[in-house]
């Protein structure tokens, strides 16, 4: 107990405040968002319930029913299913509704919560996040459905707090000053989409926390040098990313890159190099075996929506590069028309990621807010570019961190664009790219904002930081307000 108290006393005040703010916002999002109304939340909850009750993964292709009997009763009997993407509907929340559902739960047979064996559209996901949530499902006092859902949402909130901490540590590896750390972690704590996703049951927030830890440890390893302990942890985090979601595969190239950068930065002895590489490879091999074991028990296989996307012979390098160009820039006359729906950086980066789209994609901020966010994002990018050019000598000294963070952006965006292109070229109407898929990059976004402000005159830096964090606080509160209006007004 004394050690815990001593550790708490060592937590910087600004970090403690940010963690408190993030916790309050995450809890507020979980209360403002009606039950089962997050993106794919019904399927994620069904996955957790089946795993917790039976110890097995539901099928993505076969089965008797998608949901457990308690969740099915909440969706059909109470009407939460009719609420999905229906802005005119409101959730049942009267005492009579609550008592009726309690009576319904009391009459359910044994094993009813785990009856959702499939077909479940998210059953292609690996089980790590769901195993984490299964702890909350199992330990919830009383074992009632809505109590379990609330506890699972709280566990998602803990992952946001972890992301804030690892972003703080990542910024501390790059700058020893307190203000850049506060800005970087503050961006994560106050980003509306991060708060919203931490208030529901969804794998994206789990993947975000894993990436935040990996990025911090990779940059720290590059600064301190290779060791078998850090190499093992990096490999373990890589395995955790792969076992959390198909999009977690984008981290795989970062592991060897981080080890090579750390080696080039310090040039350790041959024995240390071989030991670090061997340990990392061994942990990765164990992760591969774990993947094989999990896949063997997964009906329909894993990663169906991210990797197995149809005929690979339909791939065209020219068309793929054209699709990326048209995602960010206007189409040139020599290019073919854009594949799929007209979705680009404005919708994905500005509206869905930096601004936020809530509920089941039917709750928006006012459109003028997205315009302001786009202007602010462009100003920050210009300022960051100016800092990189003007302070090139200082930036060059931090090249290991810059290489690792830039590679993370390229790996994730490249993976998302590749998955999106393959889905569209094989006839899917879903482009498989949306703003919440970018959440693993929020530690880099926060660190980039801190670096941009570091280029300002020292007296202007806290003012700019205050404007940014104050604006993000307003956006978070506005997002919670429009969500409350959507469900409870």
pLDDT at 361 over 80: yes
How far, in Å, CA of 160 to CA of 480, rounded?
17
pLDDT at 312 over 90: no
pLDDT at 308 over 60: no
For the ranges 11-20, 138-147, 181-190, 385-394, the lowest mean pLDDT is seen at 385-394
pLDDT at 10 over 90: no
* Residue from 309, 471, 443, 461 nearest 377 by CA: 471
Instruction: Give residue 345's domain range.
Output: 7-38+154-304+326-488
The verdict on residue 131 lying in a domain is no
Report the mean per-residue pLDDT for the chain: 92
Query: Which is more confidently placed, 334 or 157?
Result: 157
How far, in Å, CA of 36 to CA of 198, rounded?
14
Per-residue pLDDT tens for 424-434? 888 777 788 89
The percentage of residues in the chain with a pLDDT greater than 90, rounded to a whole number, is 76
Question: Would you state the structure tokens that stand for residue 342, as one six-digit string?
Answer: 């007209």
- DSSP three-state, residue 460: coil
pLDDT score for 406: 97
pLDDT at 2 over 70: no
How far, in Å, CA of 377 to CA of 353, rounded?
12
The percentage of residues in the chain with a pLDDT greater than 70, rounded to a whole number, is 94
**How sure is the predictor about 109, in pLDDT bands with cuts at 50, 70 and 90?**
very high
Query: Which is more confidently placed, 308 or 110?
Result: 110
Q: pTM for this structure?
A: 0.95
Cis peptide before 140 (omega within 30 of 0): no
Per-residue pLDDT tens for 440-449? 999 999 999 9
- DSSP three-state, residue 301: coil
The verdict on residue 239 lying in a domain is yes
* Residue from 211, 182, 213, 201 nearest 19 by CA: 182
Instruction: Over range 246-263, report the average pLDDT.
Output: 95
The verdict on residue 313 lying in a domain is no
The verdict on residue 407 lying in a domain is yes
pLDDT score for 300: 46
Query: Which is more confidently placed, 125 or 305?
Result: 125
pLDDT at 292 over 90: no
Question: Would you state the structure tokens that stand for residue 236, as one six-digit string?
Answer: 């373990």
Question: Would you state the structure tokens that stand for residue 198, as one six-digit string?
Answer: 């931490």
The verdict on residue 136 lying in a domain is no
357 DSSP 8-state letter: E
The verdict on residue 346 lying in a domain is yes
pLDDT score for 290: 78
Q: Are residues 70 and 143 in contact, defined by beta-carbon separation less than 8 angstroms?
A: no
202 DSSP 8-state letter: -
Q: How many domains does the chain have?
A: 1
How far, in Å, CA of 271 to CA of 267, rounded?
11
For the ranges 138-147, 160-169, 451-460, the lowest mean pLDDT is seen at 451-460
The verdict on residue 100 lying in a domain is no
The verdict on residue 77 lying in a domain is no
How many angstroms separate the Cα of 259 from the Cα of each of 150, 221, 246, 266, 399?
Answer: 40, 8, 23, 11, 14
């Amino acid at each position: 107990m004394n050690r815990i108290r001593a550790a708490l006393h060592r937590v910087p005040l600004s970090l403690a405040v940010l963690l408190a703010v993030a916790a309050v916002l995450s809890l507020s999002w979980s209360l403002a968002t009606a039950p089962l109304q997050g993106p794919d939340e019904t399927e994620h909850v069904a996955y957790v319930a089946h795993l917790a009750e039976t110890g097995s993964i539901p099928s993505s292709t076969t089965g008797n029913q998608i949901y457990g009997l308690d969740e099915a009763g909440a969706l059909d009997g109470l009407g939460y299913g009719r609420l999905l993407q229906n802005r005119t509907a409101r959730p049942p929340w009267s005492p009579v509704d609550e008592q009726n559902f309690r009576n319904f739960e009391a009459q359910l047979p044994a094993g009813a919560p785990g009856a959702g064996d499939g077909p479940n559209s998210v059953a292609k996901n690996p089980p790590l996040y769901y195993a984490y949530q299964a702890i909350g499902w199992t330990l919830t006092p009383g074992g009632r459905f809505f109590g379990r859902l609330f506890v699972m949402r709280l566990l998602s909130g803990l992952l946001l707090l972890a992301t804030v901490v690892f972003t703080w540590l990542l910024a501390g590896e790059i700058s020893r000053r307190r203000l850049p750390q506060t800005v970087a972690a503050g961006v994560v704590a106050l980003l509306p989409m991060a708060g919203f996703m931490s208030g529901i049951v969804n794998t994206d927030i789990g993947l975000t926390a894993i990436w935040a830890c990996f990025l911090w440890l990779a940059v720290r390893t590059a600064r301190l040098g290779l060791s078998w302990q850090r190499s093992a942890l990096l490999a373990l985090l890589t395995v955790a990313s792969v076992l959390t979601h198909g999009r977690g595969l984008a981290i795989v190239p970062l592991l060897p890159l981080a080890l090579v950068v750390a080696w080039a930065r310090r040039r350790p002895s041959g024995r240390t190099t071989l030991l670090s590489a061997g340990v990392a490879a061994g942990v990765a091999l164990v992760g591969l075996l774990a993947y094989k074991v999990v896949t063997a028990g997964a009906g329909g296989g894993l990663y169906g929506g991210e990797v197995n996307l149809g005929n690979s012979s339909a791939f065209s390098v020219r068309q793929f590069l054209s699709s990326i160009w048209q995602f960010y820039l206007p189409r040139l006359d020599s290019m073919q028309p854009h594949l799929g729906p007209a979705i680009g950086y404005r919708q994905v980066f500005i509206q869905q990621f930096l601004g936020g789209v809530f509920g089941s994609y039917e709750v928006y901020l006012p459109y003028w807010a997205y315009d302001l966010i786009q202007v602010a994002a462009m100003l920050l990018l210009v300022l960051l570019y100016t800092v990189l050019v003007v302070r090139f000598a200082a930036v060059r000294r931090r090249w290991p961190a810059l290489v690792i963070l830039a590679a993370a952006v390229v790996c994730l965006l490249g993976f998302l664009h590749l998955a999106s292109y393959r889905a569209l070229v094989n006839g899917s109407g879903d482009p498989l790219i949306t703003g919440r898929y970018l959440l693993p990059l929020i530690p880099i976004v926060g660190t980039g904002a801190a670096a941009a402000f570091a280029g300002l005159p020292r007296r202007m830096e806290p003012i700019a930081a205050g404007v940014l964090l104050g604006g993000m606080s307003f956006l978070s509160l506005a997002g919670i307000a429009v969500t409350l209006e959507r469900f409870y007004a």
